Amino acid sequence: MGIPSAPLVTKAFKDLAILNAAKRGMPHERICFTPHPVWGKTPEEVRAYVEGPDPVSGKPLMKEIVDALTAPLSDDEKKSGMVSVSVGPPTFTDTADNLQEFYLNNGYTDFLPIIIPTEEKVDAMMKGTSHKPDEAVGKMAAGAYPAWSYNVRQVAASAVMAGCRPEYFPIVLAVASSGIASLFSSTNSFAFAMVVNGPIRDKLEFNYGIGALGPFAQPNATIGRAWTILSKNLGNGGIAGDTYLGSLGNNLNYNNVVIAEHEDASPWVPFHVQRGFKKEENVVSLFRGLGVVPGQVARGSSANENVQFDYQMSDLFSTFTGFFGALIIADPLVAARLKEQGYDTKEKLVDWLYKNTTQTVKDYKSRNYAYLFDYPRALRGDEPWASWYKMPDDALIPHFPHASDINIVVAGGQTNAYPQAGNLSYGVSVSIDKWM
Amino acid sequence: MSPALLATTATEGQQHATAAKNSFASGRDKITGVNPKGTPPAIQLIPMAPRLDTLNGKTVYLVDTGFHGSDVLLHQIEAWFGRNMPGTTVVFRRKAGPYMEDDPNLWKEIKAKGNAVIMAVGH
């Protein structure tokens, strides 16, 4: 704007604020700090912040702010031009044990042992695709900073480290090409999921039967892990305090939620067909949200012949933030029962869930995400939030803004009739075949 | 902070590698691993806007990003100006949309009518 500014940030985000300003070209930005947190403090408590010191500099906060706007600029603050950023040499040479430590100590791993990405193994990985090593794959940023770019060879290194076989590589490339990092900077500790559809599930021997979401097959385990490792290495994500701020973190980030849909046992069309692909195409679809909850916690979930899975799913949604959508993972037994009850398409079930999972306006307004994300949209006139905020407190509104926020896939071993549900939003579906 | 500090991963990495070689590597076969990092963009340095001589007689916009408590904090700053720098005109605005979305209309208004900005806050 060409106007002096004084950004004010709480102390907990000191490193993030300084580093982000530098990444965006203002390494000397005059950032002022208040104690943390501001959220939940009374006006009197906040007045003490304003009249007290900046907890970083120790100087009176308001003097710091006034100085930020009026003190003459230094030569460094007036600088323009380009600054290159190095990530180090192209290779590292040492013993295998020392390199294992080296990769771990430098933040290249998920803190589990890795396969050292030797040039031989990276070359072998690249035989899993017809694409050239230096071909651009995509760009990725795990937060509000300029995205990093990467080519096929750089993706291959992370795939090796995660333990992938070369035949898995097209899926890893498809995920990388999306630009979606599985580690995101939010303080909310996001979780991520991928749904794999098409013949490649059988060709690579994905597990979509007993223990479909567990550690029981190499492609499920390593492709999910590769997403996190490449998010660290290619998107510069997962640096605590800098590009990752999740307060509690999320255990699902180790290898993410990898779901190969049990297409043959499903009474419904596969997920990728819903998204416009042909059944014989190989597709990976990516989701982002907060996590997955088991269906056993829902009311009325005891296994009896009258169990109503639609009501169970609706009950699960009541604990979800409406900021993210829902991804139902239905065991084939659940899906078959739902079809018997009249839900012969996924769309019919989604429509029922959308219309019958409701909340009062009062409850809705009390939710954190509503204030932070939806209320500003309502002020701007965006629907449906603008209408919701005009309704009386006892009015009933849908739990999710749109029916399309609810998605369904089928997986599991049919040893018992349980669904799980993720508070996860659909992001994008990417062709795996394109990366063969 | 120097932008060079953004490359700490590489710098520390080289230091670790050297230390590892000196401490443990003797007498064992060595292998070569590739650097798995992607390619960061170059940074375009942006000169900071010229500062004001004084805030007296000037208009300062207080911009609420929408995070919880930002409005409470900025209204206390507004009150501080009233008590301590009454010659400064203070204008409170809530940025349109969620915190992560841009608000070009507000920036246009500030450029036309304001002399400085205080923006707050995160959590």
pLDDT in tens, A351-389: 999 999 999 999 999 988 898 899 999 999 999 999 999
DSSP helix, strand, coil percent of chain A (3-state; round to 5): 40, 20, 45
Arithmetic mean of pLDDT, A276-294: 97
- A85 has a pLDDT exceeding 70: yes
**Strand pairing of A5-10 and A32-34?**
parallel
Per-residue model confidence as pLDDT tens digits over A58-79 = 999 999 999 999 999 999 999 9
In chain A, the percentage of residues whose pLDDT exceeds 70 is: 98
Per-residue model confidence as pLDDT tens digits over A192-208 = 999 999 999 999 999 99
Position A301 scores a pLDDT of 52
Per-residue model confidence as pLDDT tens digits over B53-83 = 999 999 999 999 998 899 999 999 999 999 9
**Strand pairing of B59-64 and B89-94?**
parallel
Residues 6+ apart with CB under 8 A from A215: A221
Candidate from A70, A84, A95 with C-beta closest to B42: A84
Whole-complex ipTM = 0.90
Candidate from B33, B84, B120 with C-beta closest to A117: B33
Q: List the single residue in B with minimal CA-CA distance to A155.
A: B36
DSSP code of residue A72: P
**Strand pairing of A419-431 and A326-330?**
antiparallel
**Placement of tokens 């990467």 in the chain:** A150
DSSP code of residue A371: I
Instruction: Give the pLDDT band (50/70/90) at residue A319.
Output: confident
- Chain B residues within 8 A of A108 when measuring between CB atoms: 36-37
Q: What is the helix (H) or strand (E) element at residue A387, kind and residue range?
A: helix A385-388
Candidate from A8, A235, A379 with C-beta closest to B96: A379
Q: Does residue A406 sit in helix, strand or coil? A: strand
Handedness of CA A62, A64, A68, A70 (dihedral sign): positive
Per-residue model confidence as pLDDT tens digits over A388-397 = 999 999 999 9
Position B4 scores a pLDDT of 38
For chain B positions 42-61, those within 8 Å of chain A (CB to CB) are 42-55, 60
Domain coordinates of chain B in residue numbers? 59-120
The whole-angstrom separation of Cα A392 and Cα A361 is 7
Determine whether B108 is exposed, middle or buried from the number of CB atoms within 10 Å of its CB (0-12, 13-18, 19+).
exposed
- C-alpha separations of A148 from A40, A105, A169, A181 in Å: 36, 21, 20, 11
Candidate from A6, A92, A373 with C-beta closest to B35: A92
- Please check whether residue B8 touches A, CB under 8 A: no
- B13 has a pLDDT exceeding 50: no
Candidate from B21, B119, B123 with C-beta closest to A7: B119
Other beta carbons less than 10 A from residue B77's beta carbon: 24
Contact (CB, 8 A) for A358 and A398 = yes
Arithmetic mean of pLDDT, A131-160: 96
Contact (CB, 8 A) for B43 and A83 = yes
Q: List the single residue in B with minimal CA-CA distance to A88.
A: B10
Position A372 scores a pLDDT of 87
DSSP code of residue A358: E
Q: What are A150's strand-pairing partners?
A: A138
Per-residue model confidence as pLDDT tens digits over A8-37 = 999 999 998 999 999 999 999 999 999 999
**Highest mean pLDDT out of A115-119, A321-325, B95-99:** A115-119
Amino acid at B6: L
Radius of gyration of chain B (CA): 24
- Chain B residues within 8 A of A62 when measuring between CB atoms: 77, 80, 84
| Secondary structure of chain B in HEC code, one letter for each residue | CCHHHHHHHHHHHHHHHHHHHHHHCCCCCCEEEECCCCECCCEEECCCCCCCCCCCCCEEEEEECCCCCHHHHHHHHHHHHHHHCCCCEEEEEECCCCCCCCCHHHHHHHHHHCCEEEEECCC
**Best interface-test mutation with A: which of B31, B81, B107 has the largest number of A CBs within 10 A?**
B31
Whether B9 and A47 lie within 8 Å, measured CB to CB:
no
Predicted TM-score of the model (pTM) = 0.90
Position B3 scores a pLDDT of 41
State chain A's mean pLDDT as an integer: 95
In angstroms, the separation between the Cα of residue A215 and the nearest Cα of chain B is: 25
- B24 has a pLDDT exceeding 90: no
The whole-angstrom separation of Cα B87 and Cα B64 is 22
Whether A161 and B116 lie within 8 Å, measured CB to CB:
no
Cis peptide bond N-terminal to A273, omega within 30: no
H helices present in A178-287, as ranges? 200-203, 218-233, 271-274
Instruction: Give the pLDDT band (50/70/90) at residue B8.
Output: very low
Q: What is the helix (H) or strand (E) element at residue A360, kind and residue range?
A: strand A358-360
Higher local confidence (pLDDT), A312 or A285: A285
Other beta carbons less than 10 A from residue B26's beta carbon: 8
Contact (CB, 8 A) for B44 and A25 = yes
In angstroms, the separation between the Cα of residue B110 and the nearest Cα of chain A is: 8
The whole-angstrom separation of Cα A50 and Cα A7 is 14
Arithmetic mean of pLDDT, A223-242: 96
Amino acid at A294: P
Position A103 scores a pLDDT of 98
Other beta carbons less than 10 A from residue A391's beta carbon: 15
Distance from chain centroid for Cα A72: 42
Q: List the single residue in A with minimal CA-CA distance to B69.
A: A39
The whole-angstrom separation of Cα A359 and Cα A57 is 46
